[in-house]
Amino acid sequence: MSNSYRTIILARMGEIALKGLNRGKFERQLMDNMRWRLKEYGAFSIVQSQSRIWIEPKDVNPDVLEDKETAELVLNAVTQVFGLVSASLVRKFSGDMETIKEQALKLTEDILAEHDYKTFKVESKRGDKRFPLASPEICAREEMYVYSEKVEGHRGLPVGTAGKGMLLLSGGIDSPVAGYMMASRGMQLEAIYFHSYPYTSERALEKVKDLARIVSQYSGTILLHVCNFTDIQLNLYKNSPQDMLTITMRRIMFEIAEELANKQGCKCLITGESLGQVASQTIEAIQITNEVVKTMPVFRPLIGLDKEETCNISRRIGAFETSILPYEDCCTVFVAKHPKTHPQKKHIVEAEANLDIEALVKQGVEGIETYKIERTSKN
């Protein structure tokens, strides 16, 4: 008995289906993103029909999905594209009715054995409701699609439908999650990392690149801008009071990030701040840091999450293991013993009296080096 099936993938669209007039734009972006995400696995025909998407290997590589391991990888890649609620590996049977029956029976036996299931139910659906037959009659047609499992997608909206944001990416747990969350709303990402070499090691930068690479599985390519922050920090260290160091440092970071964001066409800043988590994240500290950003919103998607919830998302997107690797970040090196947790305006005026902020921001922006980070890149 020869195989009369091919393995293909069925993906199901989520929120996009609710879009009104510009639904077409969202769908086109989703299809582009899927093509981009799958290109490393071979050539696929990706066809949309209503709220379903059918992914089928092209003739140049007809068997890519017949290997179980590869099929799982491709399925996983599909579920990482924002805009999909779920996806399944599907056996597409064709041939005469007898052959289809035999093959379907064999497949069912395999599935039952693999999972040790005792009972099962067969359902048939018409993907295209305009089709004139009722569902039971479709089972009499000579092509049949069979699947037994659904893998959850990451939902959201296709990246590229909501402009671009500048993520302040550190080596911690929070900021990669923040980037992932904004990307899930359709936002393309660039990122800036403030590097304090040699106070922080080369490894710390490598870790940030690794995290950007993990986020890029979902968000697509990320331009990672690395700002050499050491001289600026030493300047602040010398010329500004210890207990305000965290705040003055964060204000300069935000100003540099905003200037770069404007240069790059980003429409917002994104941070991993969560209210009350650490001294620099009291409402007063956030207010005083926020006020330096004049031209765009600062999004803090984790503001209302507790650490446990953030860690869960971090695990789910595969960032956690990398985030907890013990490389120091720039804030821990220059951190004061007793930072002011409820800074007031007058404190910041005093703290910045001896600083040439404009010159420091300019210095920061001019020293930026940029890397292109992609899932498959090794830089």
Q: Give the footprint of ligand ATP on this chain (CB under 6 A).
A: 168-170, 172-175, 192-194, 271-273, 277-278, 280-281, 329-331
Q: Phi and psi (nearest 5°) for 107?
A: -60, -45
Q: Residue 251 and residue 335: Cα distance in Å, rounded?
A: 15
Residue given tokens 């029956």 in the structure block: 101
Q: What is the dihedral of CA 23, 28, 34, 37, to 10 degrees?
A: -120
Q: C-beta of 208: minimal distance to ligand ATP in Å? A: 8
Characterize the bridge pairing of strands 151-155 and 143-146. unpaired
Q: C-beta of 281: minimal distance to ligand ATP in Å? A: 6
Given ligand ATP, Mg ion, none, residue 292, with its beta carbon under 5 to 8 Å by kind, binds none
Write the DSSP assignment of 306-373 as a string of letters.
Answer: -HHHHHHHHHHTT-HHHHTS----HHHHS--SS--SS--HHHHHHHTTT--HHHHHHHHHHTEEEEEE
Given ligand ATP, Mg ion, none, residue 79, with its beta carbon under 5 to 8 Å by kind, binds none
Nearer to ligand ATP, 147 or 197 (CB): 197
Q: Residue 358 and residue 347: Cα distance in Å, rounded?
A: 19
Nearer to Mg ion, 258 or 329 (CB): 329
Q: C-beta of 224: minimal distance to Mg ion in Å? A: 16
Tell me the three state secondary structure of residue 185.
strand
Nearer to ligand ATP, 162 or 331 (CB): 331
Q: Of all residues in this chain, which one has the CB nearest to ligand ATP in the complex?
A: 172
Which 114-173 residues touch Mg ion, going by CB under 5 A?
A: 170, 172
Q: How distant is the alpha carbon of residue 357 from its chain centre? A: 33
Nearer to ligand ATP, 145 or 327 (CB): 327
Q: Convert residues 325-344 into a mask of x (bound to Mg ion by CB under 5 A) and - (unbound).
A: ----x---------------
Q: Residue 43 and residue 169: Cα distance in Å, rounded?
A: 34
Write the DSSP assignment of 144-166 as a string of letters.
Answer: EEE----EEEEESB-TTSS-EEE
Check residue 280 for interaction with Mg ion (CB under 5 A).
Answer: no
Given Mg ion, ligand ATP, none, residue 194, with its beta carbon under 5 to 8 Å by kind, binds ligand ATP
Q: Of all residues in this chain, which one has the CB nearest to Mg ion in the complex?
A: 172
Given Mg ion, ligand ATP, none, residue 53, with its beta carbon under 5 to 8 Å by kind, binds none
Given ligand ATP, Mg ion, none, residue 33, with its beta carbon under 5 to 8 Å by kind, binds none
Q: Which residues bind Mg ion (CB under 5 A)?
A: 170, 172, 329
